[in-house]
Amino acid sequence: QLQLVESGGGLVQPGGSLRLSCAASGFTLDSYVIGWFRQAPGKEREAVSCISSSGGITRYADSIKGRFTISRDNAKNTIYLQMNSLKPEDTAYYYCAAGRVGYDIRWYFRREAYDYWGQGTQVTVSS
């Protein structure tokens, strides 16, 4: 069974850090572009970041640029999202997703680029 599982979410104070992980089972991630999305209450799901299958190309939303870093360890079949300098507006449910390669990296900021989604992990930034 193909599955993505996110972990690492939690409650953190403003200015703090978290590292989210996205682990795959049932398939290997090295043939997929991986994206991180988030959804806050009452808002649409939005793209946060994505990374190419090799890890050589990344893209970030303007709202998190310079604070978040996406990376991948294909040997561990895991993708990471390091989140630093967290703000209350980063509070959301965070999802990872896997999409087949073959398109410009900009395509992967669209939800329809992805074939598999995890269940998500909650990130709450609050004092």
The pLDDT assigned to 27 comes to 86
User: How far apart (Å, rounded) are the C-alpha atoms in residues 80 and 105?
Assistant: 18
- Residue whose C-alpha is closest to residue 78's, from 17, 18, 4: 4
The pLDDT assigned to 2 comes to 85
Low-confidence residues of the chain, pLDDT below 50? none
DSSP 85: S
